[in-house]
Structure 1
Amino acid sequence: MAKKVLPFVLSDCDGTICDSSLAIHPETLTDIIDYQNESGNRFSFVTGRLGVSSRTLAQDLKVTLPVISCNGALISDLKTNETLYVKYLDKRITLKILDECVQKGVQPMIYSTYQMAGLMSNPRLALWRDYASKLKKKDRWPIMEYATLDDLKSAVIEDVLRPVQVILYAPTPESQEEAKKLLEGYEFQVARFQSLPYLFNITAKEVNKLTGLQAWAEIVQTNYRDVVVFGDGQNDQPIIEGVHRGMAVDNATPELKAVAKKVIPSIHENGVGLELRRIIKEEINV
């Protein structure tokens, strides 16, 4: 009798399988690797992160499938560094947003297909720089730091940076309100997400994790609705609603839990790992 094929699985990273320090729980790591072994490497992730910044995570999780990043705007093969799909942000809109960020005390970062960029004063960029410094040299990626806003804007104008996603870092309640007000002015020009209380993501209009999944499903030749998806934040809502088995960890936002097909234990309780064990047990070891 032929072995039953396990479903493709895509998980969000931060808040779903990775904690605030960007680390993954050891039990979750073990359970994902077990799923890779049982399924023939049918687990990957769909994240707001930049794809190349997750190369070490992909290696740790034995991910061989393409990775969806930048909230659906970018699909990459992290083994070959090939860009398989990309939707760029409009340059003119990006420059306007950068100007408004500084006026409102919000720190912007830019993700292109293979690098991060922002102001030297950006604490979020410093977090990624510190994380990258601990990696093997081959796993690092360019992190460009600019002294002034004009320098950052010049890099965009001259196409040194082709923005795929803009990240707004707003560490205080006051700056978070300013970021929300800023984004209200671009409702019909860009796609906007709040991935964490202090992080706001901007991509090209009509881009989200579900549109990224649809493009990814064409690449791997599967029905996107049959992919199992895990998430925790507002930016996961389109993809969680768009598949047959969209699940939220218990630490997810109330809005996401309300639309999820199932709520699993939290990230701290190895929710994703436990659900992968259940899938293996129910679909193979029955």
Structure 2
Amino acid sequence: MPGSRAPCSNCRGATTDPELASTYDGSPRSRRTPRGRDHPQRRAHRLELGRCARAVRDRARRDDREALRGRSRRDARPRRLLVRCRHLAEPPLRRRRAQPAYEVDGRRVRWTTSANGYRLPTEAEWEYACRAGTAGPTYGPLEEIAWTVFDDVIAPQPVATKRANEFGLHDTLGNVWEWCWDYADPARYGDYRSMRGGGWADPSWSARASVRRGSAPDARIEDVGFRVARGAVGDGRGAQGWSPSADRERADIRGPLPVGWTPLRELLED
């Protein structure tokens, strides 16, 4: 975040600027579902970025970069990433008081929102970090900020080779889709997790701050990667636009269901 703002006492890069602790409206009038349809969903999120949530910048510490480097295509799957984020919070980071954010038990993953270790961002956090104070679909001309189909490339490109946004974050749009913590829709798509940002082979309509997509957590997709956040942001009842109770309520949908809907009933066991 801009250095002129007062830093949060618990993490570098966050801010206690009251302007950032405000209600954020996920701006689009329609969102894209995993199957590309418009989803007329508007949600207002209370983003308390002054409470230690921060996106890890591209110029992260060298040891952190080494731990996250490589295997971006094969290993860019939510469960594998969650395990890796947990390992990042172990030595040597434990000496910096980083606490593992996840408890992993097979396919079940629980987020300890009070932990300050590395983790996937929520969709609300991701969108706030991507927009960096802007209100349009992109934070600049796509040809300057994002790798898309118009660049005629055949694979993900090195990070930080196009212009950063106002928060100093590169490639939040284009290059690779980025996994987020949220389910795509636990009523309709089971355990699909959401992805944001668009990839190197996508047209301009996909490389927008408001577009969302989803996929199975064990899928291997060559244009999907991830960006980590770090920070304690909640007390177990939800955080940064995400709520476990809202997920359970959505998964508990009753009555006749449209063809293809697969509610994630496992959430009701928590």
Q: TM-score scaled by structure 1?
A: 0.23
Please identify which structure carries the higher strand content: 1
Q: TM-score scaled by structure 2?
A: 0.24
Please identify which structure carries the higher helix content: 1
Larger Cα-atom Rg: 1
